[in-house]
Amino acid sequence: MSKIIVIDMQFNTTRRANMTRRLSEEWISHRMKIFMNYTLQSLINQTNQSFLCFIYYDKQTEELVKKEIAKYPKLPENIIFSCEEEEGIYKYIQGYDDLYLVRLDCDDMYHPSFIQQLIDYNPKEDTQALINQKGFVYDILNDKLGGWYHDTPPFHTLIYKVEDYMNGKRYVLKGGHMGAIYLKHEIIDKENYVVTIHQKNTLNTFERHGTKVLNEDEKEKVMKEFEIRKKEDMI
């Protein structure tokens, strides 16, 4: 049975009224810098590159987004900025049996082995979601790293039959990403993600979710494992 892995990422789409600040040049420039230095690096560093990643932006900011992208090295062919949400992936998933739709915010990271984990994973027949509850949080400005545990994290993978997805099937997640826990799910028991804290964060703080601050030895081990850049090493 063949599966295709697609990472779905929202860059500055404005689905809620209070998100209009994401249309500003300042916001786009700052978030692009975080994306390029952290999120993109975690994608490039995946040990298996057999995936697609779509980063969706608001059509009205296309000129600003492309201007910022041009400041950085060329993106790999499997990492695509697009203003065509959902329908844009239809041509890529045809011919596969299963779609693994991975959620990731544009300022966070996955473990370098994550795509390989999904390729190797054999869920139960009726499983609808794979959820990562364990991970880390990195404060870029203060160079602090801690361990996180989140019952209903934004780090999940939804599993669809490709035919069903193309015919319009979508899971309803009550309350947003937290709703994945109410689907038929399995937990991936590995520390698989890094949440970054930076000056433009609005929803997360370092101390949230009972952060366990790591000592220097533990911190350096995780920094190396995830290939996390310190502020002074950002491009």
Domain boundaries defined on the chain: 3-130+152-188
- Residues linked to residue 186 through DSSP beta bridges, in sequence order: 130
Give the pLDDT of residue 160.
Answer: 98
Average pLDDT for runs of 10 along the chain of length 235: 92 69 92 97 98 96 97 97 84 95 97 98 97 96 93 95 96 89 97 89 60 92 96 89
Q: What is the DSSP letter of 187?
A: E
| Nearest-angstrom CA–CA distance, 16 and 9 | 16
| Nearest-angstrom CA–CA distance, 194 and 227 | 11
| Nearest-angstrom CA–CA distance, 158 and 130 | 7
Query: SS3 for 57?
Result: coil
Give the pLDDT of residue 209.
Answer: 59
- Of residues 197, 185, 127, the one with CA closest to residue 155: 185
Q: Which two structure tokens, joined as six digits, stand for 22? A: 């994401």
Q: Which two structure tokens, joined as six digits, stand for 5? A: 């892995």
Give the pLDDT of residue 200.
Answer: 58
Q: Which CATH class is domain 3-130+152-188?
A: alpha beta
Q: Who contacts 91 (Cβ-Cβ below 8 Å, separation ≥6)?
A: none
Q: Which two structure tokens, joined as six digits, stand for 158? A: 């939804």
Give the pLDDT of residue 14.
Answer: 64
Give the pLDDT of residue 21.
Answer: 82
- Residues linked to residue 79 through DSSP beta bridges, in sequence order: 53
Give the pLDDT of residue 17.
Answer: 47
- Of residues 5, 91, 17, 37, the one with CA closest to residue 227: 37
pTM of the model: 0.92
Give the pLDDT of residue 210.
Answer: 66
> How many other CB atoms are there within 10 angstroms of residue 36's CB atom?
18
